[in-house]
């Protein structure tokens, strides 16, 4: 069966960037719909650690650049949305932590990084004395700072945003983009979507979509491979960054699971892990966590990891881009928010690029399937213990 729909804007990609963009377009009067090939958040969003960075991590060298300043401004947007003072209303999003900690490894390099983070930002972290530190930092000899950064459950965020736009989400695979029309296949047939513009928010999938639209050379993309570590068991809830100089050795966030608590571990460990096999990487992760949290008892913990690709606009030397990227080429708008915290700002930039909507409503036909939510990484992982 083949059907034709006529709308203002089609969003391709159902991660956090796509769902925020859909919401912003609908509120701006666009007849907008979204297609997702597999599951909402699969890939970059569900591998996110859920940190609404306020800029501290990006100011470790002592200079708060564009990324630190933008992250700080974006974190203010989130505070409004999570207090019900901005749109969309995110008061019901599951919050894992209201604050994080930053601590240094012993040595001058760690001390220099801490000093740089404190001096570079207008909202400075708070020094935490030994008596006021959480128990899991009791074995740390270096300085500890308290950061005003919220950590959320990315999957729950996706669920809340999807609830706002249930009839506007479809599970479909885009097959062609040309001349103001997109062909997409679903389990119930082929959809022909006539639209004024197509917004590409599919992360790594943007590369193939741009090629489909004849724009691959215009919007070159890069991949930054990572390997995230996971640890679960009878563990404390840990949220924070262990730093050494201008580098974040590990970033740890936590959630509950049937086995107790699961740590989701990124930072420099994840960057270096992309070049290692899982066995070598987990040995390294075990050693790094023992060094960064010397009081932690990891003897009975279970371990796992998974690879993930950070998809971004290409930069010189393959470095992380300093800010969001939203650029229009004819009827196509390519979007990379770069960081979770920047997704609402990227969505606002898309609305500016797309202009005014028609004021019409749009929903998918009832028989078009909706995409499921992707699982959290630890919910489908294979786990092992060290002998």
Tens digits of per-residue pLDDT, 152-174?
A: 999 999 999 999 999 999 999 99
Strand partners, 200: 12, 334
Model confidence pLDDT, tens digit, residues 54-71: 755 554 544 334 455 677
What are all long-range contacts of 274-281, with beta carbons under 8 Å and residues at least 24 apart?
Answer: 274/225, 274/226, 274/227, 274/307, 276/227, 278/227, 278/305, 281/227, 281/229, 281/305
pLDDT digits (tens, 9 = 90+) for 268-279: 999 999 999 999
- The pLDDT of residue 55: 57
Q: 41 and 17 in contact (C-beta within 8 Å)?
A: no
Looking up tokens 């970059």 gives: 44
Grouping H, G, I as helix, E, B as strand and the rest as coil, residue 66 is: helix
Q: If you ran DSSP here, which 8-state letter would residue 7 be given? A: E
CA–CA distances in Å: residue 365 to residues 36, 191, 199: 16, 10, 21
Q: What average pLDDT does range 340-344 have in this prediction? A: 94
Q: Where are the beta strands (DSSP E) in the chain?
A: 2-12, 32-36, 95-97, 100-104, 126-127, 144-147, 151-152, 169-171, 173-178, 181-186, 189-200, 221-233, 240-244, 247-257, 260-266, 302-313, 325-329, 332-336
d(CA 339, CA 323): 8
| Residues 255, 96 contacting (CB under 8 angstroms) | yes
372: helix, strand or coil = coil
207-217: b (≥16 Cβ within 10 Å) or e: bebbebbebee
pLDDT of residue 121 exceeding 50: no
Q: What is the pLDDT of residue 109?
A: 52
**pLDDT greater at residue 92 or residue 57:** 92
The tokens describing 290, both together, are: 């023992």
Whether residue 47 is predicted with pLDDT greater than 90 in this model: the reply is: yes
The whole-angstrom separation of Cα 307 and Cα 53 is 22
Q: Over 70: is that where the pLDDT of 123 sits? A: no
Non-local (6+) Cβ contacts of 386 within 8 A are 282, 286, 303
Which two structure tokens, joined as six digits, stand for 139?
A: 């074995």
Q: Give the strand pairing for 32-36 and 169-171.
A: parallel
pLDDT value for 209: 95
Q: Which domains does the chain have, with CATH numbers?
A: 2-45+156-220+314-378 (3.50.50.60), 99-149+223-312 (3.30.9)
**Angle of helix 343-354 relative to helix 16-27, nearest 10 degrees?**
50
Per-residue pLDDT at 58: 53
| Mean pLDDT of the chain, nearest integer | 90
Q: Which of 73, 78, 99 is nearest to 90 (CA)?
A: 78
- Please check the confidence at residue 178 and state whether its pLDDT lies above 60: yes
What pLDDT, on the 0 to 100 scale, is given for residue 317?
A: 74
Q: 122: pLDDT confidence band, cut at 50, 70 and 90? A: very low
Q: Is residue 68 a contact partner of residue 86, using CB atoms and an 8 Å limit?
A: no
Nearest Cα neighbor of 350 from 15, 7, 14, 23 is 23
SS3 of 284, please?
A: helix
φ/ψ (deg, to 5) at 108 = -70, -35
Query: Span 339-357, mean pLDDT?
Result: 94
Question: What does the alpha-carbon distance between residue 152 and residue 150 come to, in Å, rounded to a whole number?
Answer: 7
Query: How far apart are alpha carbons 56 and 88 in whole angstroms?
Result: 25
Residue 296: both structure tokens together: 């932690």
């Amino acid at each position: 069966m083949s059907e034709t729909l006529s709308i203002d804007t089609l969003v391709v990609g159902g991660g956090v960037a796509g769902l925020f963009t859909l919401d912003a377009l609908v509120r701006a009067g666009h007849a907008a719909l979204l297609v997702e090939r597999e599951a909402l958040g699969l890939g970059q969003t569900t591998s996110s650690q859920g940190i609404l960075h306020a800029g501290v991590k990006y100011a470790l060298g002592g200079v708060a650049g564009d990324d630190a300043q933008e992250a700080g401004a974006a974190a203010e947007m989130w505070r409004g949305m999570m207090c019900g003072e901005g749109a969309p209303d995110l008061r019901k999003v599951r919050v894992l932590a209201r604050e994080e900690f930053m601590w240094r490894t012993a040595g001058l390099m760690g001390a220099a990084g801490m000093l740089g983070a404190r001096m570079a930002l207008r909202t400075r972290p708070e020094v935490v004395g030994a008596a006021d530190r959480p128990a899991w930092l009791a074995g740390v000899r270096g300085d500890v700072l308290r950061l005003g950064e919220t950590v959320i459950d990315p999957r729950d965020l996706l669920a809340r945003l999807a609830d706002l736009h249930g009839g506007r989400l479809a599970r479909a695979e885009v097959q062609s983009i040309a001349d103001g029309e997109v062909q997409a296949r679903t389990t119930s047939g082929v959809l022909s979507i006539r639209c004024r513009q197509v917004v590409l928010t599919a992360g790594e999938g943007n590369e193939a979509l741009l090629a489909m639209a004849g724009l691959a050379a215009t919007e070159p993309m890069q991949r930054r491979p990572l390997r995230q570590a996971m640890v679960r068991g009878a563990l404390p809830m840990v949220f924070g960054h262990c730093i050494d100089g201008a580098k974040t050795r590990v970033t740890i966030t936590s959630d509950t699971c049937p086995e107790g608590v699961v740590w989701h571990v990124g930072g420099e460990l994840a960057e270096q892990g992309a070049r290692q096999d899982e066995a070598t990487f987990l040995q390294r992760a075990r050693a790094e966590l023992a060094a960064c949290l010397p009081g932690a008892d990891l003897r009975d913990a279970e371990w796992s990891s998974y690879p993930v690709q950070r998809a971004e606009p290409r930069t010189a030397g393959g470095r992380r881009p300093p800010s969001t990227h939203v650029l229009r080429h004819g009827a196509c708008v390519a979007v990379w928010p770069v960081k979770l915290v920047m997704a609402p700002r990227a969505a606002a930039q898309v609305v500016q690029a797309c202009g005014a909507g028609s004021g019409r409503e749009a929903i998918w036909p009832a028989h078009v399937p909706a995409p499921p939510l992707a699982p959290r990484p630890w919910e489908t992982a294979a786990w092992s213990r060290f002998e």
